[in-house]
């Protein structure tokens, strides 16, 4: 088996302390030096993800960036793919779900199964998003996300460097962990970073087209995603990006241990 | 050290600090009936966090049932208390219960609408869950046989009781930067793991020209998770009457420094000790107290067996205490009720231990055999291999949202394998098994520590695995272990341990401990013993050099 550089728990723990006060660029630089081409940035074109791409590109223009095309993304997201390619010259890696699994799921449950019941929505997330992500990560030693602590109470303990036990214990790097939303948007304005057009239309979360929508000022942000659901697992709503891992735990607990779709 | 951040920045960066100020978590109590009435899914996630201040955590999956942690200060529980907890488990919690390393009892499967009734029931027998979780002073632990053990320096139960009463629900000390763990004991064996607590008061007798004084040495800054630290000697002697004042002063110094509120990752007291060192912390504590503390050059050394298992005479004439092993720390509500019946019958109490066992006390010597038989009949035989009593596993699957591997069932598999292979020869070993890096079962300081992790198989698929940690210990052998075998596929773990244990049993020197055996062998030698030369997944020794280079 190929000799790979993966941290152990003690190393990751102490590195997280060491880097906790450091700037995101320091974290990204360390990650790039440490993992090279075995590292990639994961983005779904939220504001935080774009900041990460911009920062990393200024350090290493050849940085790897990937996204999951679930097949149900809004047109604006596809435009973002091309804007990022054009601005940064990055050959964005776009990964799609397994054709066979999508076909089987739709044949059995229909195209808009997610509106019917929570387990079917989770199944759809699983087939279109989680399994492709797992496949990408299985070929990496480390990945970078735009997760931030201030986003939600349950994210308050995010470390800048940690082992990702939802994905084979590879290293997960969260350089913006201690940034605020304000800092993200300041950065975007200062460096003229492209950002998703749906933000200007009242979206607070960017996801699949049928499952996200704009919210009114003052409205609960949870109304922006899966607003029709009753009985969904806690923390698996609006703020449960697949990057957190919490989502996969719920999937396993609800859909079964391997979480493989019973298509 | 970094400049102290402004409170504005703290609130901006740390959503938990925000949440504590928007509505003080202790104030959630009055709202519980209303929260239950509006239905689980309408409860905000902030309120779910606030429920931690009452010892409530999500079970897994997060669809409406809770784990509840009942605090038992010093692990001392009346039979009425045990019966009450057992009845709650049986009525509302699918009969399930577990003993914890902080001498608590945890129940599962509880629905929010039953919580007000449960709290009222607990209150009637003097029990509480307040500050069971959250940024609070957690259950204060101690030596479970305090007040009974003939060799103890003095009885610390009055100090523990007073401290527990003072801190539980105390608003001034329920907005800490993070959780805080205190232990207080004068057990000669230091059975309460003072090394692993944020603050430990260790009983000591100070002799000076003026005479003998009973009091405490103070250890600060212990903790585990993925940044393990053994607590350090503060260098002071604290008189019995000053104990709570000193505990408060340490908390005051820590909680008023915004450096430890900016990031939850660096909020624990251990990081303050990293930054300041014990001497500077002592100066800050003295400043708070407005007086100097007396020097105590040496920490008292531990001596004796930490388990308190089996039959022991109490200092009270004609009475005994008996430590019973509890398999995997599991006890059903039904067992609790039946145990309470037995204890009530002869008039003793129940003591819970850090090793997730229980001790029955005040047993008249003449009734020993009868009582031991009756306790065996409800599922707790006294005569079992002590590796089963000493070893612990965390809550883990299926309840815990953090665990990535099974824990209690995995430990059972390993124990069965070692017992079948070596019999009583492994009686002195301790295995500490955790399902995640949080280290609730103290994997850094067992003879053999196991931490659940994940690895990848040949085609990149996720693989359940364990890090094997050796050279850890507590007491006279206190040290943080080293993850010598990493990401060992779960299926290989028992065999790896078998090889290590066999090497120790056949090649260890007379009287040598397992830790000493591991200390005497190099990383490579231990690696070779465990794997018998075969290479599994990623078990190569850590490549520290490259990480260190990247850091500097």
Q: Is the peptide bond before B61 cis (omega within 30 degrees of 0)?
A: yes
The Cα–Cα gap between A181 and B504 comes to 55
Q: How many CB atoms lie within 10 A of CB B258?
A: 18
Q: Give the nearest chain A residue to B178 (CA atoms).
A: A157
B157-295 fold = Sulfite Reductase Hemoprotein; domain 1 (3.30.413)
CATH 3.30.413.10 fits B390-546, yes or no: yes
Residue A235: closest CA among chain B residues belongs to which residue? B45
Report the pLDDT value the prediction gives residue A240, as an integer from 0 to 100.
52
pLDDT of residue A119: 87
The superfamily CATH assigns to domain A9-200 is: HUPs (3.40.50.620)
The minimal CB distance from B61 to the residues A33, A159, A233 is found for A233
Mean pLDDT of A173-193: 95
Q: Which residues of B touch A13 (CB under 8 A)?
A: 225-227, 437
Pairing of strands B232-239, B294-295: antiparallel
Mutate to test the interface with B, among A1, A2, A8 (most CBs of B within 10 A): A8
Among the partner residues A30, A165, A230, nearest to B453 by beta-carbon distance: A165
CA atoms within 13 A on the CB side of B453: 34
Tokens of A121: 């929505």
Positions of chain B with pLDDT under 70: 460, 534-552
Q: Which of B474, B486, B472 is nearest to B519 (CA)?
A: B472
What pLDDT sits at residue B461?
A: 73
CA A62 to chain centre: 20
Domain spans in chain A, listed from the N-terminal domain onward: 9-200
Instruction: With cut-offs at 50, 70 and 90, classify the pLDDT of residue A5.
Output: low
From A196's Cα to the closest Cα of chain B, the distance in A is 24
**Which of the following is catalytic: A42, A125, A211, A236?**
A236
Whole-number pLDDT of residue A249: 66
Q: How far is B321 from chain A (nearest CA, A)?
A: 40
| Rounded alpha-carbon distances, angstroms, from residue A163 to A9, A167, B127, B226, B328 | 7, 9, 38, 10, 27
Q: How far apart are CA B469 and CA B482, in angstroms?
A: 5
Q: Which residue has the tokens 């003690």?
A: A10
Taking an 8 Å cut-off on Cβ atoms, the answer to whether B60 and A7 are in contact is no
Which H helix or E strand runs over A259? none
> How are beta strands B56-58 and B65-70 bridged, if at all?
antiparallel
The DSSP result for A15-55, as a single string, is HHHHHTTS-HHHHHHHHHHHHGGGEEEE--S-HHHHHHHHH
Digit-coded pLDDT (tens) for A82-137: 999 999 999 999 999 999 999 999 999 999 999 998 889 889 998 999 899 989 99
Residues of A within 8 A of B543 (CB-CB) are 5
Which are the contacts of A246, defined by CB distance < 8 A and separation ≥ 6? Answer: A154, A235, A236, A240, B401
Quick check: helix, strand or coil at residue B474?
coil
- Give the span between the Cα atoms of B414 and B488, in whole angstroms: 14
Environment class of residue B273 by beta-carbon count within 10 Å: exposed (0-12), middle (13-18) or buried (19+)? buried
Say if CB B504 and CB B452 are below 8 A apart: no
Q: How many CB atoms lie within 10 A of CB A111?
A: 12
What mean pLDDT, rounded, does chain B reach? Answer: 93
Query: What does each C-alpha distance from B325 to B36, B80, B253, B379, B382 come to in angstroms?
Result: 38, 21, 40, 10, 7
Phi, then psi, of B75 in degrees rounded to 5: 70, 15
- Output the CA–CA distances (angstroms, integers) from residue B419 to B326, B485, B499, in the order listed: 16, 22, 13
Residue B277 burial (CB count, 10 A): 12
Is A236 one of the catalytic residues? yes
Q: What is the pLDDT of residue B421?
A: 97
| Structural contact between residues B454 and A168, judged by C-beta atoms closer than 8 angstroms | yes
- ipTM of model: 0.84
Q: Answer for the pair B359, B348: CB distance below 8 angstroms, yes or no.
A: no
Distance between CA atoms of A173 and B90, rounded to whole angstroms?
44
Share of chain A above pLDDT 70, in %: 85
- Is B460's CB within 8 Å of A138's CB? yes
Q: What is the model's pLDDT at position B534?
A: 65
**Rounded-to-integer distance, Cα B398 and Cα B443, Å:** 19
DSSP for B301-352, please give it. PP-S-SS--EEEE-SSTTEEEEEEP-GGGB--HHHHHHHHHHHHHHT--EEE
* 3-state class (DSSP) for residue A74: coil
Please give, rounded to a whole number of angstroms, the shortest distance from the CA of B18 to a CA of chain A. 9
Q: Which residue has the tokens 């087939």?
A: A127
Closest by CA to B476, choosing from B300, B214, B278, is B300
**Extended beta strands in B379-428, E state:** 392-393
Q: Which of A5, A10, A246 sits opposite B546 (nearest CB)?
A: A5
Domains in chain B: boundaries: 157-295, 390-546
Distance from CA of A232 to the nearest CA of B (A): 7
Kindly tell me if the per-residue pLDDT of A259 is higher than 60: no
Chain A, window 18-77: residues with a beta carbon less than 8 angstroms from a chain B beta carbon: 18, 20-21, 30, 33-34
Q: What is the pLDDT of residues A215-238, one digit of tens each?
A: 888 887 777 888 888 766 665 544
CB contacts < 8 A (A, B): 155
When pLDDT is averaged across residues A172-177 and rounded to a whole number, the result is 96
Chain B residues near residue A33 by CB distance under 8 angstroms = 550
Long-range contacts at B250-254 (CB < 8 A, ≥ 24 apart): B250/B199, B250/B218, B250/B220, B250/B281, B250/B285, B251/B137, B251/B173, B251/B176, B251/B180, B252/B288, B253/B281, B253/B284, B253/B285, B253/B288, B254/B176, B254/B177
């Amino acid at each position: 088996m190929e000799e790979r550089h993966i941290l152990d728990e003690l190393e990751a723990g102490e590195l997280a302390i060491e880097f906790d006060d450091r700037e995101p660029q320091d974290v990204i630089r360390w990650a790039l030096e440490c993992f090279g081409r075995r590292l990639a940035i994961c983005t779904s074109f939220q504001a935080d993800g774009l900041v990460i791409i911009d920062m990393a590109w200024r350090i290493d223009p050849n940085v790897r960036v990937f996204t999951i095309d679930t097949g149900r993304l809004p047109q604006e997201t596809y435009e973002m793919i091309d804007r990022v390619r054009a601005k940064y010259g990055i050959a964005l890696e776009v990964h799609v779900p397994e054709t066979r699994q999508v076909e089987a799921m739709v044949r059995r449950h229909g195209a808009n199964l997610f509106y019917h019941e929570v387990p079917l929505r989770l199944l759809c997330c699983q087939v279109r998003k989680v399994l492709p992500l797992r496949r990408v990560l299985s070929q990496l030693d480390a990945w970078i996300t735009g997760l931030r602590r201030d986003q939600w109470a349950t994210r308050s303990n995010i470390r800048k460097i940690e082992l990702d036990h939802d994905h084979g214990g590879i290293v997960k790097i969260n350089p913006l962990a201690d940034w605020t939303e304000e800092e993200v948007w300041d950065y975007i304005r200062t460096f003229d970073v492209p950002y998703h057009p749906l933000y200007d239309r009242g979206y607070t979360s960017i996801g699949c087209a049928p499952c996200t929508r704009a919210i009114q000022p003052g409205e609960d942000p949870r109304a922006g995603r899966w607003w029709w659901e009753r009985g969904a697992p806690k923390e698996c709503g609006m703020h449960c990006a697949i990057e957190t891992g919490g989502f996969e735990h719920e999937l396993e607990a609800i859909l079964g241990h391997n979480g493989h779709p019973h298509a | 050290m970094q400049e102290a951040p402004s409170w504005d920045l703290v609130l901006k960066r740390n959503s938990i600090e925000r949440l504590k100020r928007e509505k003080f978590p202790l104030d959630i109590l009055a709202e519980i009936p209303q929260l239950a009435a509006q239905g689980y899914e309408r409860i905000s996630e902030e309120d779910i966090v606030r429920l931690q201040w009452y010892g409530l955590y999500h079970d897994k999956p997060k669809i409406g049932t809770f784990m509840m942690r009942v605090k038992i200060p010093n692990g001392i529980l009346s039979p009425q208390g045990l019966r009450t907890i057992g009845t709650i488990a049986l009525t509302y919690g699918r009969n399930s219960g577990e003993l914890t390393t902080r001498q608590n009892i945890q129940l599962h499967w509880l629905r929010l609408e039953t919580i007000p009734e449960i709290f009222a029931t607990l209150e009637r027998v003097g029990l509480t869950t307040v500050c069971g979780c959250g940024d609070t002073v957690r259950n204060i632990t101690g030596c479970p046989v305090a007040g009974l053990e003939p060799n103890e320096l003095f009885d610390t139960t009055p100090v523990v009781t007073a401290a527990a009463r003072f801190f539980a629900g105390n608003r001034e000390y329920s907005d800490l930067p993070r959780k805080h763990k205190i232990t207080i004991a004068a057990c000669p064996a230091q059975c309460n793991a003072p090394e692993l607590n944020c603050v430990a008061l260790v009983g000591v007798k100070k002799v000076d020209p003026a005479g003998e004084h009973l009091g405490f040495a103070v250890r600060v800054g212990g903790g585990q998770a993925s940044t393990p630290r053994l607590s350090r000697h503060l260098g002071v002697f604290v008189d019995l009457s000053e104990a709570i004042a000193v505990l408060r002063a340490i908390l005051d110094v820590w909680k008023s420094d915004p450096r430890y509120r900016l990031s939850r990752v660096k909020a624990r007291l251990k990081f303050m000790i990293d930054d300041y060192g014990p001497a500077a912390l002592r100066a800050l504590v003295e400043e708070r107290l407005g007086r100097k503390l007396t020097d105590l050059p040496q920490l008292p050394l531990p001596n004796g067996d930490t388990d308190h298992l089996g039959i022991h005479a109490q200092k009270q004439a004609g009475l005994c205490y008996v430590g019973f092993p509890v398999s995997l720390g599991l006890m059903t509500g039904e067992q609790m009720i039946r145990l309470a019946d037995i204890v009530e019958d002869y008039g003793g109490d129940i003591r819970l231990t850090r090793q997730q066992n229980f001790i029955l006390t005040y047993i008249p010597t003449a009734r020993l055999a009868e009582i031991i038989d009756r306790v065996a009949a409800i599922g707790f035989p006294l005569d079992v291999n002590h590796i089963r009593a000493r070893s612990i596993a965390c809550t883990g699957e299926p309840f815990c949202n953090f665990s990535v591997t099974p824990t209690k069932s995995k430990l059972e598999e390993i124990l069965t394998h070692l017992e079948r292979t070596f019999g009583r020869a492994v009686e002195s070993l301790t295995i500490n098994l955790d399902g995640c890096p949080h280290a609730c079962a103290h994997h850094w300081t067992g003879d053999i520590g196991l931490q659940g992790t994940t690895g990848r198989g040949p085609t990149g698929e996720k693989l359940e695995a364990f890090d094997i940690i050796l050279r850890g210990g507590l007491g006279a052998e206190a040290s943080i272990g080293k993850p010598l075998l990493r990401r060992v596929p779960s299926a290989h773990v028992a065999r790896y341990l078998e090889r290590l244990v066999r090497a120790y049993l056949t090649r260890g020197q007379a009287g040598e401990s397992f830790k000493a055996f591991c200390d005497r062998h190099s990383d490579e030698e231990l690696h070779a013993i465990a794997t018998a030369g075969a290479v599994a997944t990623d078990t190569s020794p850590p490549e520290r050099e490259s990480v260190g280079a990247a850091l500097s």
